[in-house]
Amino acid sequence: MTEPALGFRRWAVTYDGRTHEAFLRGRVAPAIWAIDGWTDAQCVPAAAPEGAEPHDAPDRDCECGLYAYHSLEPALARIHNEPQLLGMYWDNSEDREVIGAVIGAGRVVVHGIGWRAQHARPVVLAAPEARFSAVADIAGRMGIPTVSLGQLARFATEFGGRLRPP
Ligand SMILES: [Zn+2]
């Protein structure tokens, strides 16, 4: 794949216990997303099929990789079976949720509703409410903009394709 894939997803905000800096964290797989560039997917043993050999993520026969939806709508929808996925840590506090657009690059496994990629990075975050300043803080440190949720899809479509994969 030469062009990076554009997608939409949600994160939870998590805070470094020592510095109190805010970071984006996966809501199902609890990986912390990089502030300074591409996040690299790793296969978490709990996510791999029983007996699977260690492999680079994403693997077509596994569930690993950095996930995103093709469009914004499913990222906005409540997905009720998420707490059961992988049996992993789950933080359901909605006031810590962040929605944004990402690009995926490297090896990308495409599914009907989205994709999972080897490398991914946010390109724009939706700023939900002024009181939730962690989003603006994270976006500022990432060097990416925040827009209103209503502008997110259009902005991402115009902006995302300009970025180059690693
Ligand atoms: Zn895997």
| Model pLDDT for residues 20-33, shown as the tens digit of each residue | 899 999 877 778 99
| Model pLDDT for residues 56-78, shown as the tens digit of each residue | 999 998 889 999 999 888 888 75
| Chain position carrying tokens 């599914």 | 111
> What distance in angstroms lies between residue 58's CA and the mean position of ligand 1's atoms?
6
Q: Would the pLDDT of 95 be above 60? A: no
Total domain count, the chain: 1
Q: Give the Cα-Cα-Cα angle 88, 92, 94 (nearest 5 degrees).
A: 145
The residue range of the domain holding 132 is 5-47+54-162
> What distance in angstroms lies between residue 73's CA and the mean position of ligand 1's atoms?
27
Q: Would the pLDDT of 35 be above 90? A: yes
> What distance in angstroms lies between residue 141's CA and the mean position of ligand 1's atoms?
30
> What distance in angstroms lies between residue 12's CA and the mean position of ligand 1's atoms?
22
pTM given for the model: 0.81
Of the pLDDT bands very low, low, confident and very high (cuts 50, 70, 90), residue 93 is very low
CA gap 12, 3 in Å, rounded: 27
> What distance in angstroms lies between residue 43's CA and the mean position of ligand 1's atoms?
4
| Model pLDDT for residues 113-158, shown as the tens digit of each residue | 899 999 999 999 987 665 567 888 999 999 999 998 888 888 888 7
Strand, coil or helix: 35: coil
CA gap 61, 49 in Å, rounded: 8
> What distance in angstroms lies between residue 49's CA and the mean position of ligand 1's atoms?
8
